[in-house]
Amino acid sequence: MSKKLPIVAIVGRANVGKSSIFNSILRRREVIVANEPGTTRDAITAKAHWEGSDFWIVDTAGIKDAEDDFEFTIQEQIMQAADSADVIWVVIEAHIAITEEDRRVAKMALKTGKPVFLIVNKSDKARRAKATDYQRLGIKPIFLTTASQNRGIDAVLDELIEIIPHFQQPEADDRLRIALLGRPNVGKSHLFNSLAKKQQAIVADVAGTTRDINRAVVKYQGREIELLDTAGIRRSGKIGQGIERFSVIRSLSAIEQADVCL
């Protein structure tokens, strides 16, 4: 039985505590937390688990006005993280009235049509706050958390694994799954096409053409073999922005689905 691990993207205005939530879930200081808006510049992904369920979480940069090209690229990346995710967590601050940026983030998240949670963090700074005080963003469910003290996070994770079964696609069969992995442009899609005997994958002489996983089922000696063609994996550091980065997450999740990796 194989399943696709869900991806959770943590988005929100700068400095609301996204990285603190990410760290709290991983129970380690994986990413830098600082009281300076714009601390996180690059989306960071890690595999997490709760009560027997595994998932990926992506910590993104804070949403700000794009003052320059670099900032614009970052903002684009946040949109892509949200687009690639299965569940989106929008984070706001409990003690600060909802801002224009909070509204922008909420709108963008809701527009994807995916499950969205509202995490109202820093609730230690607004002790009287109730979840219903934050309904105006139109997001449900709402959780109050104090990430810096690991408080309230369990409830978010409990709800996540409640909805996770929707993303698990059990394929209880005896199909052998083979994932084709490798650096960009080494001929994975060509091999995939020869094996699949049909032009299913887009083959192009441009490194990184495959943005997602192509699948084909071939019959060999009466047995079904499912081939998973993945995006090329580059060394981290060389991984570009945006779509490519999220393709790599998809490749990593293909490794998990596969029985054999070539």
200 is a site residue for ligand GTP (CB under 6 A): no
The contact mask relative to ligand GTP for 12-51 (x = CB under 6 A, - = no) is x-xxxxxxx------------xxx-xxxx-----------
20 is a site residue for Mg ion (CB under 5 A): no
241 is a site residue for ligand GTP (CB under 6 A): no
Closest by CA to 208, choosing from 176, 173, 244, is 244
Distance between CA atoms of residues 17 and 91, nearest Å: 7
| DSSP label of 210 | -
Q: Which does 121 bind (CB under 5 to 8 A by kind): ligand GTP, Mg ion, none?
A: ligand GTP
* Per rule CB under 6 A, count of chain residues that contact ligand GTP: 24
The contact mask relative to Mg ion for 24-63 (x = CB under 5 A, - = no) is ---------------xx-----------------------
Distance between CA atoms of residues 262 and 252, nearest Å: 13
**Which residues, 48 to 67, sit near ligand GTP by CB under 6 A?**
61-62
The residues, ordered by sequence, that sit 6+ positions from 140 with a Cβ below 8 Å of its Cβ are: 118
| 177 contacts 216 by C-beta, under 8 angstroms | no
Q: Which does 124 bind (CB under 5 to 8 A by kind): Mg ion, ligand GTP, none?
A: ligand GTP
The edge-to-edge listing of strands for the beta sheet with 87-93 is 44-50, 53-59, 7-12, 87-93, 116-121, 142-144
Residue 19: exposed, middle, or buried by beta-carbon count in 10 A (0-12, 13-18, 19+)? buried
Smallest distance from ligand GTP to CB 113, Å = 24
150 is a site residue for ligand GTP (CB under 6 A): no
**Which residues, 68 to 127, sit near ligand GTP by CB under 6 A?**
121-122, 124-125
Distance between CA atoms of residues 18 and 24, nearest Å: 10
> DSSP alpha helices (H): ranges in the chain?
18-26, 69-84, 100-111, 153-163, 188-196, 243-257
Among 19, 77, 84, 193, the residue binding Mg ion under the rule CB under 5 A is: 19
End-to-end CA distance of the chain: 20
Smallest distance from ligand GTP to CB 162, Å = 23
Q: Which residues bind Mg ion (CB under 5 A)?
A: 18-19, 39-40
Binding site residues, ligand GTP, CB under 6 A: 12, 14-20, 33-35, 37-40, 61-62, 121-122, 124-125, 146-148
